[in-house]
Structure 1
Amino acid sequence: MAEQAPEILATESAEALVQEGHGAEVQHVEPELWGLAPFQVVSVAMAVFLLIAIFGAKVHKSIGGGLDNKIAAIKQQLDEAKALRAEAETLRDEYAAKIAGAEKDAEAMLANAQHEADAILAKAESDSKAMVERRKRMAEDKIAAAEREAIEDVRNRAVSAATAASRKLIADKHDAAADKALADKVIADI
């Protein structure tokens, strides 16, 4: 093969044309985009980038403002959560104190109830002893009254029996004349 030209953007079809004798040299073709050379495309891209950077700063500011607002809302929510947590801890401590106080109150109530129960039991025992004593006294009084009544009844029966016996004796041993002499003697003594 003959001496080859440097291949910058050479293609097979260009080499074929050179070998057939259509041209002595390969022409270099630059790439294009919409009819612009690469340096022009880069210049236009930089201009668009600068325009976006300058005028897009407003978009950046609005995005930054939105993020700042979101950050502020999150901070506010965190502050509210901290306040709620502090309030919850305060309530927890308050209820823990109430529970401890309630337990102490329950213990005090239990001790007081035990003391009252002991006092009621002691009073019931003393009342029952007093009632037993009263009933015993009442029974003794009834027995004594029954004894007195029995003694009185025996006396009355004895008196009645003695009276009846003396009447019978007097009636048997005294006649009407002896009664008259006795009555006269009693009247005379008066």
Structure 2
Amino acid sequence: MRFLVTALLAATASPALAADYPFVSLRNTDFVVLIAFVIFIGILLYYKVPALVAGMLDKRAANISAELDEAKALREEAMALLASYERKQKDVQLQADRIVAAAKQEATDAASAAKDEIAKSISRRMLAAEELIASAQAAAIKDVRDQAVVVAVAVAKDVLAGQMNAKSAGALIDDAIATVGDKLH
């Protein structure tokens, strides 16, 4: 209704009122346009177009409001999900830090155990080497003794051969035969 009043006031203030011929005449184009406009507004009001437009606008506003509410709900859900993921990320980071610390500790323990094992292995090898050296030393002493016996026998043979004459050789042979005879019977 306000629109109609505004249109009529605008039409009354038009320059058509200043024309030489009367305003209410079909020869006046402004009057014809005014009548067409009033008829058009009347048709719009008869078919309740402003109410339809207002209803459509209200429906659109309701849709926009619903979309805004949905967007707010989605935003809140996204914020909650983000907070959840941030908590999970912190938990995972803490767990990763614990795993790294445990791995470092295990590596340190393994290195310590390896050092101990290497030290034991070295001491075993040293003991085996010392035993090998002692065995080689005993073998060398035995070889020297055996060689000394061989040399002593050779020297004794030479000494006895030099002191031996036919009479003492015969006595030694008789004595050896008697000894062998006593041992055989």
Q: TM-score, normalised by structure 2?
A: 0.68
* Structure 1 residue matching 2:65: 3-state secondary structure: helix
**Which residue is 2:58 aligned to?**
68
List per-residue Cα deviations over 1:62-120 (Å, max 9, x = no partner): 20222123113212321331232123212211221122112211221122022112211
How many corresponding residue pairs? Answer: 152
> How big is each residue's C-alpha offset from its partner over 1:15-58, in whole Å with a ceiling of 9 and x where there is no partner?
xxxxxxxxxxxxxxxx942249xxxx9xx8xx9699457415x2
> Which residue of 158, 180, 183 maps to 1:187?
180
2:114 aligned residue:
124
Q: How do 1:159-178 residues align onto structure 2 when only pairs under 5 Å count?
A: 159-174=149-164, 175=166, 176-178=169-171
Q: Please tell me whether residue 55 in structure 1 is matched to residue 46 in structure 2.
A: yes
| 2:75 aligned with 1:85 | yes
Rounded to whole Å, the distance in 1 between the matches of 2:103 and 2:157 is: 77
In structure 2, what is the Cα distance between the partners aligned to 1:99 and 1:119? 30
The runs of 5 or more residues in structure 1 that have no matched partner are: 1-30
CA separation in 2, counterparts of 1:50 and 1:180? 170
Q: Verify: 1:112 aligned to 2:102, yes or no.
A: yes
What fraction of aligned residue pairs are identical, expressed as a percent? 33
Q: Quick one: which amino acid aligns to residue 182 of structure 2?
A: D
**Cα distance in 1 for residues equivalent to 2:123 and 2:154:** 45
Give 2:96's aligned amino acid. Answer: A
Q: Max radius of gyration: which structure?
A: 1
Structure-2 change in CA distance of 1:70 and 1:181 (3 Å): same
CA distance in 2, matches of 1:55, 1:153: 141
Distance in 1, Cα, partners of 2:136 & 2:127: 14
Amino acid at match of 1:60: P
Higher relative helix content: 2
Deviation of 1:148 after TM superposition, in Å, equals 0.9
Rate the CA distance shift 1:70–1:50 in 2: closer, same or farther, 3 A: closer
What residue is the counterpart of 1:140 in the other structure?
A: 130
Q: Does 1:101 align with 2:77?
A: no
* TM-score normalised by the chain length of structure 1: 0.67
More moved, 96-105 vs 78-87: 78-87
Secondary structure in 2 aligned to 1:92?
helix
- Rounded to whole Å, the distance in 2 between the matches of 1:170 and 1:144 is 38
Going from structure 1 to structure 2, the CA distance change for 1:140 and 1:61 (only over 3 Å counts) comes to same
Distance 2:87 2:136 in 1: 71
